[in-house]
Amino acid sequence: MLITIENVLSKDEVRQFRAHLDQAAWQDGAVSAGTLARHVKSNQQLDESAEPAISLGNHLLRKLGADPLFISAALPRKIYPPRFNRYAGGGAYGTHVDSAVMQIPGTALSMRADLSATVFLAEPDEYEGGELEIEGQFGAQAVKLGAGGMVLYPSSSLHRVAPVTAGARVASFLWIESLVGDEGDRTLLFDLDQSIQKLTPALEAHQGDLLRLTGIYHNLLRRWAVT
């Protein structure tokens, strides 16, 4: 399941992020790449253990925690602290798959990467190329959202970032361990929850069919969730 969420950050918040990021000290992104990814990764990243990555990442986490569409789609249990990257001058990231298990920085905790997310922090007309290409059941889908928009997709997907041939592509990226690890189960819950939300304004809160649908949702979540 691939989902796009517009305006995770407002345009004003994006401007504030960029005011910090455009003045930040970027480092070679290969430093954080795995053995195979290091050969196909050409970008820049912020030091995740220092400012402004920490404060900007915390702000993004607060926004995600209040976003109902994100919560419905991801059912987050753990979230890896957001990182920030920049592609320019032909920078790209060849086809790769994200690690299945990651250690959360600064802790002894590990997490399973069920979902990957990219939040775009540059408008599409600020750079050429740079599409996030995600391979799925029906082929590859290219994603290039407006600044503040997020794409959420399975971490098991092969994906890549096309070369940026002009301008700079700035983004944040993160991983989520879901309460429901199975993608098919999570998709069913998302579809059911979205249907309930659409029906709710048209029906009385105590209406029997709505109550039954809500009960089915929570009983399935109760069955599948790992806490």
pTM over 0.85: yes
pLDDT in tens, 52-90: 999 999 999 999 999 999 999 999 999 999 999 999 999
The verdict on whether residue 159 carries a ligand-binding annotation is yes
Distance in angstroms (rounded) separating the CA atoms of residues 200 and 208: 12
Is position 39 annotated in a ligand binding site? no
Give the DSSP per-residue string, 60-127: HHHHHHT-HHHHHHH-EEEEPPPEEEEEETT-EEEEE---SEEEPTTSS-EEE--EEEEEE-S-GGGE
| Mean pLDDT confidence for 116-134 | 98
Mean pLDDT of 147-162: 98
Tell me the pLDDT tens digit for each residue of 3-58.
999 999 999 999 999 999 999 999 999 876 666 667 899 999 999 999 999 999 99
98 in a labelled binding site: yes
Ramachandran bin of 159, using left for φ above 0, alpha for ψ from -120 to 50, beta for the remaining angles: beta
The pLDDT of residue 209: 84
DSSP state of 157: S
Crossing angle of helices 53-65 and 11-21, rounded to 10°: 160
Q: Say which amino acid occupies 174.
A: L
Q: Answer whether residue 206 shows pLDDT above 80.
A: no
The domains located in the chain, with CATH, are: 3-178 (2.60.120.620), 183-224 (4.10.860.20)
